Structure 1
Amino acid sequence: NSRTEYVYGKEVLERMQKATYFIFGCQGVGAEVAKNIFLTGGSVSLCDPEPVQTIDMASNPFFTAGSISKPRDEVLAQAIKELNPQKQANVVKVTDLKQLAQFQAVIYTRSTQFTVQQVAQHCRQHKIPFVVAQSFGLCGRIFCDFGEEFVIYDTDGERIEDFTLAEMFIEIDSKMQDLYIGTKDVIPYEDNDLIEITDVRFQVARDGQRIEQDESFLNENFNNKRYRVKVISKKELKLQFDETDVKFVNKIQELIAKGLIVTYLRGGYIKKIKEPKIVSFKSFEECAMNPVFPEMMIDFTKMEHNEVFNYIYRLIDSKQNYLQQFSQPWSKKHYEQFYTELTQKFTAECLKTDLAKTLAKKFIGQHMGQFSPVSSIIGAWGAQQALEAVTGKYTPVQQNWYYDSFELIDEVEEADANFKNDRYDGQTVIFGAANQKKIQDQSLFMVGAGALGCEILKFLALSGACSQKQLDITDLDSIENSNLSRQFLFREKDVGLMKSHVVAERALTMNPECKINPMTVKLGNLNPMSAEFWKSKSIIINALDNVPTRQFVDRKCVEFCKPLLESGTQGQKANMQVILPRVTQIYSAMVDPDTGEAPACTIHNFPNTITHCIVYATSEFKGMFENAVEDLKKWQETDNENINEFVQLMQSDLTALKGRFARLLQLVSFEITKEEDCYKFAACQFKRFFQKMIAKILQTNPLDSKNEDGSAFWSAEKRPPHVLEFSMQDPVHRSFAQFGSKLVGDIYGIQFKFDEQKAAKVFAQMEQFEVLTADEAGNVVDEYMDQLDKLFTQKFVFKPTGKVTPIQFEKDDANNGHVQFLAAFSNLRAQNYEIPVASDQEIRRIAGNIIPAMITTTAAIVGHVGVEFVKLCFGKNKIEDYKQIYMNFALPYVQMSENEPCRLYKAANGTEFTAWDFLDMEGNPTIGEIKQVVEEKYGATLDGVMIGPKSIYMSFMDGEDKLEERVRDVLVELNETAEGLKFLTIIAEEENAELPTLRLQ
């Protein structure tokens, strides 16, 4: 559950998991709410004694043909217990609402026994957080009531990052000092935010020169305090002093009176303090009369829908089981009755419009429908609101959110929507039989079978989208324990199995009619990913978090003119978009965000954040335990006669040679055959990284060093380091000794249990151990560069003690010592520079580049993917037909807008084209023929022809004779396959002139 913990934090997650949640209703939305809460770690109690019907199978992944006629709650409880064996899923027969007192949140999705008003009123009176999460075919609603004084402890969900101070200005006036602080990074703060500042160092100067003065009073009275801020610019804040800062201010004034100036020297971390916010909720009855809609959950194309829907919901809430009388889908008689009752009960002007008539007709025509994507959306939001109610983590929905995807349908003929008593009835009553056939008649390809893939496959299976033609799925990963909390198709017994095969098997339990071909094929391989394969597919779906693979799939969709559904999640945030041929922008044209990586010199010599330390430690882990061991392994496998081959291998990468050589020498400078040798290796690494290298930096730049302008070298973001003395009593030092020795033992196959006393004896001898830094190893390399083999055959005597095994960093194994060693290394470096240390868990997140994840986020965004998928099945082809979605549970925020239109490019002669357009040629043309076509069609001079990164023709390198060569013949010379469909990049000589891709048939 670590990825979920990275989103919520350990304490919040524990509160969620200790709570018990009550759910009325176990159809599609109820099942989604239960699944999402259960996977997050909460226990649920269910109430829905009604029997499972055939129609329920369209939206509930836990109901099968064998469930028909059994109580819904009992079937669901039994099924979801498999998702999390440590938690309870109980069935409760509610005879009195007083039974709800034991629960921390109540979610109402449906009930034939109690009206929503009855449950809402009871929960309000007894201060039980209450959530409504209901769907009616293609529409649904969320409502929250968390009482009159609900405390939100984290309003936005953003991770609190430390910002490092880069500068500070103290301006003087007669009454008070104004103190301005600045950073090199953009600070995402607002006026009146509360911040905490730590670790600032001041200096006192006269006439611009620092003087000997005890600055501790200033440092102590300024640091570890909280300040209100005023935002001056993106990188500058003004601190607002109050009466608690009088000592600091008086001291500055005292020094000024003596003709001295106080200025900023170095250091400083800024951290925003999240302040609790109290919000008041209205009752369900009040919100029905005067609905409160979230400001940031808006579909701008449906602004007028809310008012109409509010009256529709008030009508259906007015009577127990009101909708049961409207049992014939798309009945004109039912519509006339419904609309008449609606307008008789409410006389609002908005109900007299054509829009109101259309919404009422669509609502009552398909209200019985069960559509898995809408159940996912509403169920995810419902579960998330319940989790927030228990913890105060994130801003809940205040208070009514109405959703619909009625753009999917026009009016459906009543005869086309009759029940067929099959598993697709839930969709047939919405779309009609003809449209349901379109959904089933798709040939699909999905890339990825992880969290997104599980949810996508759920709606594909339930909707029947892979029941007539084949769905191909590829995923190279196997199932890990960490997947189980977010990927509901996996069980503990599946750990170690391939994801694609397991999801295919599970899909058959949801819908035995599925035709799924699971693969573990890497994209780009010729077979089965041939041109014919791509041509055979009608829709492509990405379900992965790997940008290069996404770009590869995007390129194939462009080449073969296929629609692509693209989505992604990060913690509480998610997005999705539709890539529509010849209509929308392609995925690869989207701008990638700035990575914000620190310069190498900062990482290696002047770190000032724990992230810098982790990046450095990660690099050294790879160099020490993987790269150096690979070098050693190659050396071991090279006999003396062929030593030059190894020497040449080393010399081929001179830029990294010094570092590689230093690590390699550490492995071979003494024999490693027993436990004590492993402790010695760890001690040598401690001496090298946290003593000798630090001493070298201080030797080059002493503490009193000056810059050319006379200012202190160790100032602003440059933090002066100090050499560490090893202490087994320090937990970080001990951890480095324990896991550093374990890892080298793993390399040599030496197994032992860490003995602190033995290790301490070895570390006590550290001063005697010879250790080479990279520079010192480089001097050895320089000395022997002409005869590098002497380093191996003469200077060092090494007797191989057996094969060595390189270690690749693996973040998800708690017992391998990788994370523990990396955390110790990172925190020791932080100690060197007096940087605040971090927990093993936080270091694992950063080093492993772990993307925080929540099941609710995944389920919600995939619901939107499902809605857009059906539009593709129905052949909608206008940009306004589709939506791109950005959502954030923490705010809460949902933005639904049109996708970006495809960008127009211009050739030299003004011809316009898009990324979806090609220059088509057939056969095996010469390069000269390509050049001629480019000139005739686009008025451009051909400068180059490429296939991927390989050059077929470059005008500045190749002569005229190259123009006579045939393209496919050159491909053979480049070890590329020459047959079949080829896509070549062609480049124009003219500046700012573009050319389309050459498609060689």
Structure 2
Amino acid sequence: MYDKTMDESLYSRQIHAIGKDAMKKITEASVCIVGMRGLGLEIAKCLILSGISKLGLCDDKFVTQDELSVNYYANKSDLYIKLRVDTVYEELCNLNSNVKIEKHTDKFRYSYLDNYSIVVLTDIDLITAIPINDYCRKKGIKFLYACTNGLYGFIFSDYGDNYSVSETNSQNPKSGIIVKTTDKIIETDKPHKLFVNDKIRILSEPPIETYITQVHDMCHFSVKDDVNVSACRFIELKQGHTYNFKSLMESYRCPEFVEIDLCEFDKVPSLHEFTIALSCFIHKYKRMPNQFSETDIAELVKFCSFNANIEIIKKLASTCNGNIMPVVSIIGGIIAQQVLNACANKCQPIMQWMYYDALILLQEKCNKIDNMSRYFGQEIVFGNEFQKKLKDTTVFVVGSGAIGCEHLKNFSMMGVGNIIVTDMDRIEKSNLSRQFLFRNSDIGKFKSEVARDAILKMNNEISVDAHLNKVCNETINIYNNKFFDKLTCVANALDNIEARQFVDRLCVENTKPLLESGTLGTQGNVQTIIPFLTMNYGSHSGSEEDSVPVCTLKNFPYEPEHAMQWARDLFEGMFTKAPSNYNKSLASDLNNLETTTLAEIYDDLKFLTSKTFHAYKDCVLFSWNKWHELFSFAIENLLEQFPINKKNDDGTPFWNGSKKCPKVLKFDVNNKIHVDFVFYMSKLLAQMLDITVKSSYDAVKAFLGKLTIPKNTMLKSESTEEKIYDRQMLINEIEKMKKHKLVMTPLIFEKDDETNYHMDFITSASNMRCENYNIPQSDKFKTTGVVGKIIPALASTTTVVSGLVAIELYKVVMGFNDISKFRDSWLDLGSSFITFTEPHGVKIKKVNGLELSIWHKQKFNDVKLKDLIKFFEDKEFDVCAITNGNKTIYQNFGTVNNEKKERFMSQFKDDPEDDVLTINVICENEIIPCEIRFV
């Protein structure tokens, strides 16, 4: 049974990335993959997780030894006796029961393709692929073709003539506030991020649609048409585009490339020459070339044109029989997103060839190969000795979510011998659409433990240790220098900047490489951090998010997000903080509490005890009054303080630019949003007070229609000014209110529970606020994304990003010490854009005879604090303070404890077992990292 309805709870992160319309088209799409080696499997995994309607798997070949390095669902017992499709079929079916998967294991027939809207050819030579492409063009079937051979891979796309997309990228439309206009020049309140030829709609009366003709700076642009507006919004209008594709036969002779590596852009033509030469060789000799045969390599060279780089051709020829997981992951993820874009008729496609290679990894000479190893496909490329290095490698994976699952898969297929993974989170339903190691039956279990078990099932030749810890100050005794000493590398798989910065700090302190990565919908990035070569993560990252000023949220909102945050704060104040403070007042001696705490408790108890709650009707009445207080009376008071015609000191209107003048609302029982607020607030009050709810929505609506509008009893200053309270008055009043002896259960916000009404209330409150200020309203889904801080995510993007990380891990294990061989990456699969750049080099300087950088530590044995200070003072440094993490060991202002300066540094250790103390000596113009070792 295949359910065709869209499961928003399962696909929520994907829908936030691509939109509901695109998701609906994806759930109706049918795709056939021809060729089920590692690349076909990787594409299938991503498409199944994404929720397409039907997937065909077409392959009549058996699993071979070289495929075990890229087929994570195969093992040695499957070799040469089990068909590739049969090997992976059951595991793929378990990924998503909503996807119908069909097997085609007979000899390939063109008619297999007729029932699919998109066909993907994998690991098939060019000459064989051409007639299949011709067939698809005749049938109107979108066609994608990809191969991976050792250290390189390519993608080709052909969607026929007149292929139209509704928009050329998957990013949300840009929007902002127009402050003023002068001679077709528009000034915005914040950076507009628009480009020439972008189309915008100005939400004036009537609306105006126009094009950008010139961008002057971040906050000024010119438009085509005359406009004379201010204090109104603009929004970008996404524009479509039509593409015309060449056939494979025509395109391979006259190719158009998407170039991705800015450091080696001249390599692509030679990669294309090799693709053609390899196909010619296969068709002439009916086999792949022998990597150890000089004759075969020379024959391949003959098939190339005189323009080809012969050294590149020889390197490709010597490795093309290999299979390495990272390259399969990169190409597989890219082509999977191309399929999804084609399903949705969105985003810029690859026009028409994209090549990727990692030839930089190739060693001068490949040593012997173990043809019985599960890593045989990888050893063809790197040899047996390097495989032994990987076996002795220990990688710490921080996080086992979407990127973490991909890291674990890639590292295990590479044969990384020791993997430590930590994650404190449990599995939720929404994880299943991109975290492929988890199943429905795993919901509620710890991610790291389930991931460990899944990986060991894929490869039991490695060690995986699962932790349930957050890497933070509280676990520093676990993730100490002894722990880091045994690591080769750290791979972050985190979703917030604060956690990334903390791990980055530990890696710098312990001089360990860090492979940093992240995704946001179709976008992704990789940062390679190598001791003594590159800058660290903390050198680049900023704050996680800009906070909105309190005055904006309270009185002057102008963005939908402002209203959403206000509504989220309203929920927190009324249903979490207020009952918590009430319970706190019952359990505390009020005389021991700070005045500010007493004032907070008083305000909350005043709200909770202002009415008597006996039945659900009381909750409805309270919510009715609260509606008028928030959306009518508070606005009346604000407009009395700041009238519509108020002027600033310079004579300009007060209500101008981003200050939107609000309007007082009158309750309308026929307005669903008005009734929603009262209904959902009353529901939450009843939950909090443990009151039984018997009335339906319609009954509440009918009841509200009979009520009389209350009078405004709010103090005129209550909505805009801070209150000042007398301490003893607060204590006396709280003691009186405690006598109500209410039983209250604080409500803990949970965005993903459809039955708790949390998001229903927040959405209705946010939209009421938007109605006050004439701000565009948002549905529950979008509101959940904002207030729940949901990060849009796609399985395809995480697959690519993790593959790129794994390529950098090879370099770390190989011991590369040349920064030009490492790569940082940035990609947007919605725009078919990928670029690689050399990492930023570390800044090293010499000061007073010392070489200083984030990586260069001054090393000492156990010394007295005074001698450490003297060492730096003798080198003419003015030592201001000495710190260890967040702890201050010494500071030179205030009272200096001479007895403390007589202590040895070993006495400042938090853990007596530590044999290293990492400190920062903070001088007037420098911060000098130091390492104290205790032998």
| TM category, shorter | over 0.9
Residues 1:537 and 1:779: Cα distance change in structure 2 (over 3 Å): closer
Find the partner of 1:510 among 455, 458, 470.
458
| Deviation (angstroms), 1:751 | 4.2
Find the partner of 1:600 among 525, 529, 550.
550
Q: How does the TM-score come out when normalised to structure 2? A: 0.93
Q: Decide whether the 8 Å contact of 1:906 with 1:994 is kept in 2.
A: no
Quick one: distance in 2 between partners of 1:543 and 1:780?
43
Within 5 A, what are the aligned runs for 1:215-294? 219-220=205-206, 223-227=207-211, 229-241=213-225, 264=229, 266-294=230-258
Within 5 A, what are the aligned runs for 1:37-52? 37-42=47-52, 43-52=54-63
Q: Decide whether the 8 Å contact of 2:189 with 2:657 is kept in 1.
A: no
Residues 1:968 and 1:704: Cα distance change in structure 2 (over 3 Å): same
| Equivalent residue number for residue 813 of structure 2 | 873
One-letter code aligned to 2:735: T
| Equivalent residue number for residue 724 of structure 1 | 665
Within 5 A, what are the aligned runs for 1:331-370? 331=292, 333=293, 335-343=294-302, 345-346=303-304, 348-351=305-308, 355-356=309-310, 358-370=311-323
Q: Percent identity?
A: 28
1:644 aligns with 2:598: no
1:788 aligns with 2:799: no
| Deviation (angstroms), 1:112 | 8.9
| Equivalent residue number for residue 495 of structure 1 | 443
Query: What is the CA RMSD across the aligned residues, in angstroms?
Result: 2.7
- Secondary structure of residue in 2 paired with 1:325: coil
1:984 aligns with 2:931: no
| Deviation (angstroms), 1:159 | 1.0
Q: Decide whether the 8 Å contact of 2:605 with 2:734 is kept in 1.
A: no
| Deviation (angstroms), 1:910 | 6.1
Q: Decide whether the 8 Å contact of 1:661 with 1:778 is kept in 2.
A: no
One-letter code aligned to 1:613: A
Residues 1:923 and 1:857: Cα distance change in structure 2 (over 3 Å): same
One-letter code aligned to 2:141: I
| Equivalent residue number for residue 861 of structure 1 | 801
1:128 aligns with 2:141: yes
Q: Decide whether the 8 Å contact of 1:923 with 1:1000 is kept in 2.
A: yes
Residues 1:577 and 1:665: Cα distance change in structure 2 (over 3 Å): same
Residues 1:954 and 1:732: Cα distance change in structure 2 (over 3 Å): same
Residues 1:770 and 1:999: Cα distance change in structure 2 (over 3 Å): farther
| Deviation (angstroms), 1:228 | 5.2
1:845 aligns with 2:857: no
| Equivalent residue number for residue 995 of structure 1 | 928
Quick one: distance in 1 between partners of 2:262 and 2:70?
28
Q: Which moved more, 1:841-850 or 1:727-736?
A: 727-736
| Deviation (angstroms), 1:738 | 2.4
Residues 1:116 and 1:411: Cα distance change in structure 2 (over 3 Å): farther
Quick one: distance in 2 between partners of 1:910 and 1:95?
72
Q: How does the TM-score come out when normalised to structure 1? A: 0.87
| Deviation (angstroms), 1:673 | 4.1
| Equivalent residue number for residue 203 of structure 1 | none
1:580 aligns with 2:530: yes
One-letter code aligned to 1:101: D
| Deviation (angstroms), 1:773 | 7.4
1:936 aligns with 2:860: no
Find the partner of 1:301 among 263, 271, 278.
263
Quick one: distance in 1 between partners of 2:637 and 2:147?
66
- Secondary structure of residue in 1 paired with 2:693: coil
| Equivalent residue number for residue 113 of structure 2 | 100
Quick one: distance in 1 between partners of 2:676 and 2:464?
48
| Deviation (angstroms), 1:529 | 2.4
| Deviation (angstroms), 1:871 | 1.4
Find the partner of 2:363 among 410, 413, 437.
410
- Secondary structure of residue in 2 paired with 1:130: strand
1:87 aligns with 2:99: yes
| Equivalent residue number for residue 6 of structure 2 | none
Quick one: distance in 2 between partners of 1:980 and 1:749?
55
| Equivalent residue number for residue 183 of structure 1 | 188
Q: Decide whether the 8 Å contact of 2:143 with 2:157 is kept in 1.
A: yes
Residues 1:393 and 1:997: Cα distance change in structure 2 (over 3 Å): farther
Quick one: distance in 2 between partners of 1:864 and 1:448?
17
Q: Decide whether the 8 Å contact of 2:66 with 2:374 is kept in 1.
A: yes
Write the deviation string for residues 908-936 of structure 1: whole angstroms up to 9, x where unpaired: x363311112233333513x222201112
| Deviation (angstroms), 1:106 | 0.6
| Equivalent residue number for residue 676 of structure 2 | 735
| Deviation (angstroms), 1:978 | 9.5
| Equivalent residue number for residue 383 of structure 2 | 432
Find the partner of 2:850 among 911, 917, 927.
911
- Secondary structure of residue in 2 paired with 1:349: coil
Q: Decide whether the 8 Å contact of 2:638 with 2:719 is kept in 1.
A: no
1:923 aligns with 2:862: yes
Find the partner of 2:158 among 145, 167, 181.
145
Q: Decide whether the 8 Å contact of 1:380 with 1:860 is kept in 2.
A: yes
One-letter code aligned to 1:686: W
Quick one: distance in 2 between partners of 1:778 and 1:379?
56
Find the partner of 2:345 among 392, 395, 408.
392
Write the deviation string for residues 412-432 of structure 1: whole angstroms up to 9, x where unpaired: 44x60251x231111111111
Larger radius of gyration between Structure 1 and Structure 2 = 1
Within 5 A, what are the aligned runs for 1:944-983? 944-959=881-896, 961=898, 964-966=901-903, 971=908, 980-983=915-918
Q: Decide whether the 8 Å contact of 1:316 with 1:323 is kept in 2.
A: no
| Deviation (angstroms), 1:238 | 2.6
- Secondary structure of residue in 1 paired with 2:825: strand
Quick one: distance in 1 between partners of 2:422 and 2:756?
29
- Secondary structure of residue in 2 paired with 1:484: helix
Q: Decide whether the 8 Å contact of 2:862 with 2:906 is kept in 1.
A: no
Residues 1:740 and 1:456: Cα distance change in structure 2 (over 3 Å): same
| Equivalent residue number for residue 53 of structure 1 | 64
1:374 aligns with 2:315: no
Find the partner of 2:428 among 480, 496, 503.
480
| Deviation (angstroms), 1:670 | 2.5
- Secondary structure of residue in 2 paired with 1:417: coil
Structure 1 residues without counterparts, runs of 5 or longer: 170-177, 200-218, 249-262
- Secondary structure of residue in 2 paired with 1:58: coil
Residues 1:758 and 1:967: Cα distance change in structure 2 (over 3 Å): farther
| Deviation (angstroms), 1:277 | 0.8
Within 5 A, what are the aligned runs for 1:621-632? 621-632=571-582
Residues 1:418 and 1:969: Cα distance change in structure 2 (over 3 Å): closer
Q: Decide whether the 8 Å contact of 1:953 with 1:962 is kept in 2.
A: no
| Deviation (angstroms), 1:9 | 0.7
| Deviation (angstroms), 1:549 | 1.8
Q: Decide whether the 8 Å contact of 1:542 with 1:567 is kept in 2.
A: yes
- Secondary structure of residue in 1 paired with 2:462: coil
Quick one: distance in 1 between partners of 2:554 and 2:680?
23
Count of residue pairs the alignment pairs up:
918
1:534 aligns with 2:496: no
